Structure 1
Amino acid sequence: MNKGVLSVAIAALGFVLGLWFLGSAIKNRNKAENTISVTGLGTKKFTSDLITWSGNFSRNSFELKAAYDELANDKRVIENYLVSKGIRKEEMVFSAVDIQKQYSYGTDANGRSTQTFGGYQLSQRISIDSKNVAQIENLSRNITEIINLGIEFTSSPPNYFYTKLADVKQQMIADATKDAKARAEKIAENAGSSLGNLKKATMGVTQITEPNSTEEYSYGGTFNTTSREKEASITIKLEYEVD
């Protein structure tokens, strides 16, 4: 075989292979385009089964020991009060005592800055975690009873949580997946096609808000802790081939 014929044969083979690869690419491209992407939603309402609540109390005195003794007495009074309300001592957590020096600032007759010692302020924090949500919720609303005992007490709003959130998430994922598949089947049916293999599944973040509220979803997920009643939602995005 001379060189001219060999060159023509090689060129022809290259042309045929090129057509094959081009056809394969077009086929794969069309196959990739014949897909359906749908998003399903799973939601669940539930009631919190864990509550956390905290409060601060403090004393002021020019004598450190006097302030500490008064604060220690306040702690005993608070502890006894909570026990009388049915709170167990093991549920109460008292923080370490925080000590701050107080100063007042001003200027003297010559316009120079002055600093006057105003005594010590000692404060302590009590926090409670409990599954008796109603009991602690009622306690937080009637905190004036502690103030009426002569204690300078500041209460924080309670926070609400749910200890079985993992179970809720699993059910929502199942519901969202079922919802997405039903949507995809309906779209394919209306288009005169049928669903093929599942190509991809993407799960969104969990959003937990107060039911019927105006809380906004966030990119990283919302987790409401201020409401006893909650509503969780999650999305699942599915991508199917279409036959």
Structure 2
Amino acid sequence: MKSITAIIFSVAIVLAAIVLGNAVINRNKHQGTINVTGLGESNFTSDLIVWEGNFSRNSSDIQSAYANLEKDRKAVTEYLVSKGIPASQLVFNAVTTNPQYRQNYSDDGRYLGQTFTGYQLNQSLQIESKEVEKVEKISREITELLNQGIAFYSQQPRYYYTELESLKLEMIAKATEDARIRAEKIAENSGSELDDLISANMGVFQITGQNSGEDYSWGGAFNTNSKNKTASITMKLVFEVD
């Protein structure tokens, strides 16, 4: 009986030694995480332009105003086609009609009501084209229509990029690689080894004008005023380290 007890006691001592030994090993093993943020950035040039403008006519007679506006529409079309814009790219919106009134006041400043003076008819057009430089040049020269008696008001062109989805994927890859390089450097400097990736979170995609000094937006900046732009995105990665 005593021998059996001695054997059990000996086994218990060995098991306890094994458990305590593992505890010391696990306690001394360095484990933790590294949190890094990588940046992906690229400059690009817009390959699509959207340009809008409008013209109007005033008359006390609505039929006369519409007839003059129709003449202006034909003249605008001929001008743009002569500049190399296909007629199929000219999108004219519906004519809007606005009654015009004159406000009347007495000599002592009392309001006396209003008098109908006629109608103002407006029409706008939009051009969407991949010939960015051509449309950009026309938007600056459109004032030539003033010589034909057409009051054409040009808006600032808007610039877009048709390969945006591919660009986003490229930026994500760049940001991820940048974050990994940063994490590896941190691990190396701390005497650790980079282990598994725990999580990855993508930041907001930002598009700003090149060298514009624009601020980033929490919801993501999307510049349409500049032809030359900069795209950027961040990736936040968390790695285990040994």
For residues 20-59 of structure 1, what are the structure 2 equivalents within 5 Å? 34-59=32-57
| Contact 1:108-1:114 at 8 Å conserved across structures | no
Seen in structure 2, the aligned counterparts of structure 1 residues 169 and 79 have a Cα distance that, compared at 3 Å, is: same
Please report the TM-score for the alignment, with normalisation by the length of structure 2: 0.86
Counterpart pick for 1:100 among 74, 98, 101: 98
Unaligned runs of 5+ in 2: 1-22
Query: Can you list the C-alpha shifts for 1:63-107, whole angstroms capped at 9, x where unaligned?
Result: 000000000000000001111011101100000000000001122
The structure 1 segments of at least 4 consecutive aligned residues displaced by more than 3 Å after TM superposition are 108-112
- Number of residue equivalences: 215
**Counterpart for residue 120 of structure 1:** 119
User: 2-side partners of 1:210 and 1:108: how far apart?
Assistant: 53
Aligned-pair CA distance for 1:146: 1.4
Aligned-pair CA distance for 1:112: 4.5
**Counterpart for residue 180 of structure 1:** 179
Aligned-pair CA distance for 1:128: 0.2
User: 2-side partners of 1:42 and 1:134: how far apart?
Assistant: 28
Which residue type is aligned with residue 104 of structure 2? G
Query: Can you list the C-alpha shifts for 1:157-210, whole angstroms capped at 9, x where unaligned?
Result: 000000001111111110110000000000001100011111110000111111
**Counterpart for residue 9 of structure 1:** none
**Counterpart for residue 84 of structure 2:** 86
User: 2-side partners of 1:212 and 1:36: how far apart?
Assistant: 33
| Contact 1:172-1:233 at 8 Å conserved across structures | yes
Which residue type is aligned with residue 132 of structure 1? E
User: 2-side partners of 1:200 and 1:76: how far apart?
Assistant: 60
Which residue type is aligned with residue 53 of structure 1? W
User: 1-side partners of 2:105 and 2:129: how far apart?
Assistant: 51
**Counterpart for residue 140 of structure 2:** 141
Q: What is the percentage of aligned positions where both structures have the same residue?
A: 53
Seen in structure 2, the aligned counterparts of structure 1 residues 112 and 136 have a Cα distance that, compared at 3 Å, is: closer
For residues 189-228 of structure 1, what are the structure 2 equivalents within 5 Å? 189-228=188-227
When the two chains are superposed, the root-mean-square deviation of aligned CA atoms in Å is 1.7
User: 2-side partners of 1:60 and 1:208: how far apart?
Assistant: 41
| Contact 1:44-1:233 at 8 Å conserved across structures | yes
Unaligned runs of 5+ in 1: 1-22
Please report the TM-score for the alignment, with normalisation by the length of structure 1: 0.85
Give the secondary-structure state (helix, strand or coil) at the position aligned to 2:211. coil
* Pair 1:166-2:158 in alignment: no
Give the secondary-structure state (helix, strand or coil) at the position aligned to 1:77. helix
Aligned-pair CA distance for 1:108: 4.0
